[in-house]
C-alpha cells in the first residue's frame, strides 16, 4: 500500500488520427461528456494531492472543455510519444510522491480497480495494470519471464510470437516520482513509430532491480483504449449498460435496457418505468412512479411523482408537479413550470410559461410567455401571440377561464378568472372576470354562389 502523496497524470495531448475528426480525441463525447472528463472524475475519487492533465493537440479547446475543474495543465507542444508527454508533467511533482499515470483515451476504468493497484504496490515498487484481451490487436503486449513482467512491446514493434500474447498494457502505471524522472530522462525513440514510449520505462525498472507488479484486471471493457469511432461506439454501449444496470439495481424498470441513452445524470424515484428509445440529457430527475413511454427526449428537467410522458415528446429545462400528463407529441421548451395534474396534449408547444393545478392544454396550441391559473381549459388551436416583431409580451389567464378553440390572444393581454372566450376570437383587450368575450364577424350566406369549375370542362 502506497503511503506517499499521490500525483495523477492524465495524458491527453494526442491528436487521435484514427478518429478522423476535427475534435481532439479526448473531447469526443461519451455519455454526453468529453471522454477526458470521465477519466478526471475517476481520478478525483482516489483523492490525489494533485491531478495534472497533459494537453497539446487541440490547444486551449481541451482545457476550455473542462472549464471550472480544479486541474493543473501541462502543455506538450509537440506530440512525441507517451513518455515525452509524462515528462511535461514531472517538473512540478515532488520526487517523494508516487505518480499514477492514466490515459485520456481509456475512459471506462473504475476507481475501485485503480484503488486495488494502489493497495498492492509498495512505496519503492512499480505497478502496471494489465488485462487479457480476446483481441489484443493494437495494444502494447506484456512480456513476462518466469511469471514476472520484464518489458512491454508495442504492437508495431512486436515479433509474431509477441503479437500472440493476449495480456496487454492498459496504460495505467504507478511508480515513485523520483525514479520515474530518472528513467524518462533515459528514454530513446529508436522504434517503429519514432516516439518516446512510456512503456520502455518498465524494462529500465526491471534492470534497476525494482519490483514491477503486473496486476491483472478482470474486466476487458473497463480497460478499452478508444482510438477510432468504432471503439468509441463500443465504449458508449458499455457505459450505457453500466449506467442502466446501476439504475435497475436501484429499482428502475426498463422495457429494454439496451434501448435507452443517458447523457448526463438521471436520478429516479421508486417505481419509475422507462420504455424504449428514451434519451436523457444533462440533469434529469424523475419522481416516484413516473412513466416515460417510447421515443422521448428529456433534457435538464424535473418531472414530479406520477407524471406520465406519452410517446414522442421533447422536454427541455422544464419542471412538472405531480401527476401531469404530457403528449403524445408535446414540446416543452425552456422555462416551463407545470403545477400538479396538468395535461399537455398532442402538438402543443409551451415556452417560458407557468401552468397552475389542474389546467389542460390538450390540442394543437402554442403557449409562450404565459401564466395560466388553475383549472383553465385551453381549446384546440389557441395561440398566444407573444411577439410583436420586436418584443415579447406576457399573457395572463385567470383561474377557471375557458378559452374556446382557435383563439388568438394578442399579448400583452389578460383574461380574467372564470372568463370565457368564444371560439375563433382574436383578443386584444383585457377580459373581465366571469364575462364572455367574443370577437367574430357576423356569419353571412352568399345566396346563389357557385363553386368555380375547371376551364374547358
Ligand atoms: C498506448 C500504449 C500501449 C497501450 C495502449 C492502451 C504507449 C507507447 N503505448 O498505445 O502500450 O496498450 O495505449 O490503450 O504508451 N498521448 C499524449 N502525447 C503523445 C502521445 C500520446 O498525450 O505524444 C496521449 C494520447 O492523447 C492518449 C494516450 O496518450 O490519451 C495514449 O496514446 P495513443 O497514441 O492512443 O497510444 P496507443 O497507441 O493506444
Ligand atoms: Ca490509445
Q: Are 50 and 166 in contact (CB under 8 A)?
A: no
Of ligand 1's atoms, which has the minimum distance to the CA of residue 139?
12
Q: Is the pLDDT of residue 2 over 90?
A: no
Q: Is the CB of 200 under 6 A from ligand 1?
A: no
Between the CA of 79 and the centroid of ligand 1 the distance, in Å, is 10
Confidence of residue 254 (pLDDT cuts 50, 70, 90): very high
Q: Which residues contact 311 (CB under 8 A, 6 or more apart)?
A: 275, 293, 294, 295, 296, 327, 328, 329
Between the CA of 73 and the centroid of ligand 2 the distance, in Å, is 20
d(CA 66, CA 383): 42
Q: Is the CB of 136 under 6 A from ligand 1?
A: no
Of ligand 1's atoms, which has the minimum distance to the CA of residue 200?
8
Q: Are 145 and 204 in contact (CB under 8 A)?
A: no
Q: Are 196 and 84 in contact (CB under 8 A)?
A: yes
Between the CA of 254 and the centroid of ligand 2 the distance, in Å, is 34
pLDDT digits over 183-207, tens only?
Answer: 999 999 999 999 999 999 999 999 9
Q: Is the CB of 168 under 6 A from ligand 1?
A: yes
Considering the four listed CATH numbers 3.30.2010.10, 3.40.50.300, 3.90.550.10, 3.90.550.40, the one that applies to the domain covering 6-223 is 3.90.550.10
Q: Is the pLDDT of residue 418 over 90?
A: yes
**Quick one: cell of 319?**
419542471
Q: Is the CB of 13 under 6 A from ligand 1?
A: yes
| pLDDT for res 331 | 98
What topology does CATH give the domain 229-437? UDP N-Acetylglucosamine Acyltransferase; domain 1 (2.160.10)
The residues facing 298 across adjacent strands are 280, 315
| pLDDT for res 61 | 97
Q: Is the CB of 151 under 6 A from ligand 1?
A: no
Q: Are 101 and 84 in contact (CB under 8 A)?
A: no
Q: Over pLDDT 90: what percentage of the chain? A: 98
Q: Can you give the C-alpha Rg of the chain in angstroms?
A: 31
Q: Per-residue pLDDT averaged across 105-132, rounded?
A: 96
d(CA 224, CA 227): 9
| pLDDT for res 4 | 84
Q: Is the pLDDT of residue 457 over 80?
A: no
The single residue listed with the C-alpha cell 403524445 is 328
Q: Is the CB of 88 under 6 A from ligand 1?
A: no
The DSSP result for 308-374, as a single string, is EE-SS-EEESEEE-TT-EE-SSEEE-TTEEE-TT-EEEEEEEEESEEE-TT-EEEEEEEEESEEE-T
| pLDDT for res 3 | 81
**Can 84 be counted among the known catalytic residues?**
no
Q: Is the pLDDT of residue 326 over 90?
A: yes
* Domain residue limits, the chain: 6-223, 229-437
Q: Per-residue pLDDT averaged across 338-350, rounded?
A: 98
Of ligand 1's atoms, which has the minimum distance to the CA of residue 169?
12
Cβ-based neighbour number of residue 443 at 10 Å: 5
Between the CA of 185 and the centroid of ligand 2 the distance, in Å, is 23
Instruction: Supply the residue whose CA is at minimum distance from atom 29 of ligand 1.
Output: 11
Q: Per-residue pLDDT averaged across 429-444, rounded?
A: 97
From the list 38, 213, 314, 363, the catalytic residue is 363
Instruction: Supply the residue whose CA is at minimum distance from atom 14 of ligand 1.
Output: 225
- CA separation (Å) from 184 to 172, 208, 416? 16, 14, 77
Q: Is the CB of 80 under 6 A from ligand 1?
A: yes
Average pLDDT of the chain, as a whole number:
97
Instruction: Supply the residue whose CA is at minimum distance from atom 25 of ligand 1.
Output: 14
Between the CA of 226 and the centroid of ligand 2 the distance, in Å, is 6
pLDDT digits over 29-83, tens only?
Answer: 999 999 999 999 999 999 999 999 999 999 999 999 999 999 999 999 999 999 9
Of ligand 1's atoms, which has the minimum distance to the CA of residue 105?
30
| pLDDT for res 15 | 87
Amino acid at each position: 500500500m502506497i503511503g506517499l502523496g499521490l500525483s495523477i497524470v492524465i495524458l491527453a495531448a494526442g491528436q487521435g488520427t484514427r478518429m478522423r475528426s476535427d475534435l481532439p480525441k479526448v473531447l469526443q463525447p461519451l455519455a454526453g461528456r468529453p471522454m477526458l472528463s470521465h477519466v478526471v472524475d475517476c481520478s478525483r475519487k482516489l483523492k490525489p494531492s494533485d491531478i495534472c492533465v497533459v494537453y497539446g493537440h487541440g490547444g486551449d479547446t481541451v482545457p476550455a472543455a473542462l472549464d471550472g475543474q480544479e486541474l493543473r495543465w501541462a502543455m506538450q507542444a509537440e506530440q512525441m510519444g507517451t513518455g515525452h508527454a509524462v515528462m511535461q508533467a514531472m517538473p512540478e511533482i515532488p520526487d517523494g510522491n508516487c505518480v499514477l499515470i492514466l490515459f485520456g483515451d481509456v475512459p471506462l476504468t473504475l476507481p475501485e480497480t485503480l484503488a486495488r493497484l494502489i493497495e498492492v504496490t509498495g512505496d519503492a515498487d512499480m505497478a502496471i495494470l494489465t488485462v487479457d484481451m480476446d483481441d489484443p490487436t493494437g495494444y502494447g503486449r506484456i512480456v513476462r519471464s518466469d511469471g514476472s513482467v520484464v518489458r512491454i512491446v508495442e504492437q508495431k514493434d512486436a515479433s509474431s510470437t509477441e503479437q500472440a500474447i493476449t495480456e496487454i498494457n492498459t496504460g495505467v502505471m504507478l511508480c515513485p516520482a523520483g525514479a520515474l524522472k530518472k528513467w524518462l530522462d533515459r528514454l530513446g525513440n529508436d522504434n517503429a513509430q519514432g516516439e518516446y514510449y512510456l512503456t520502455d520505462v518498465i524494462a529500465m525498472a526491471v534492470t534497476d532491480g525494482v519490483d514491477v507488479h503486473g496486476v491483472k484486471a478482470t474486466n476487458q471493457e473497463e480497460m478499452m483504449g478508444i482510438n477510432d469511432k468504432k471503439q468509441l461506439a463500443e465504449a458508449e454501449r458499455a457505459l450505457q449498460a453500466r449506467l442502466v444496470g446501476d439504475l435497475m439495481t436501484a429499482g428502475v424498470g426498463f422495457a429494454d435496457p439496451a434501448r435507452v441513452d443517458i447523457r448526463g445524470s438521471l436520478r429516479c424515484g421508486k417505481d419509475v418505468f422507462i420504455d424504449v428509445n428514451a434519451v436523457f440529457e444533462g440533469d434529469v430527475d424523475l419522481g416516484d412512479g413516473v412513466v416515460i413511454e417510447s421515443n422521448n427526449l428529456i433534457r435538464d428537467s424535473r418531472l414530479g411523482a406520477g407524471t406520465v410522458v406519452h410517446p414522442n415528446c421533447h422536454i427541455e429545462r422544464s419542471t412538472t408537479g405531480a401527476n401531469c400528463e404530457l403528449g403524445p407529441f408535446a414540446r416543452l421548451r425552456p422555462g416551463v413550470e407545470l403545477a400538479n395534474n396538468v395535461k399537455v396534449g398532442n402538438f402543443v408547444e409551451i415556452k417560458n410559461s407557468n401552468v397552475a393545478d389542474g389546467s389542460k392544454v390538450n390540442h394543437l396550441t402554442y403557449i409562450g410567455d404565459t401564466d395560466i391559473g388553475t383549472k383553465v381549459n385551453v381549446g384546440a388551436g389557441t395561440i398566444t401571440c407573444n411577439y410583436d416583431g420586436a418584443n415579447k409580451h406576457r399573457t395572463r389567464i385567470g383561474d377557471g377561464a375557458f378559452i374556446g378553440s382557435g383563439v388568438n390572444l394578442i399579448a400583452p393581454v389578460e383574461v380574467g378568472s372564470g372568463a370565457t372566450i368564444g371560439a375563433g376570437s382574436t383578443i386584444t383587450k383585457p377580459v373581465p372576470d366571469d364575462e364572455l368575450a367574443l370577437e367574430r364577424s357576423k356569419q353571412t350566406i352568399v345566396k346563389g354562389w357557385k363553386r368555380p369549375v375547371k376551364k374547358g370542362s
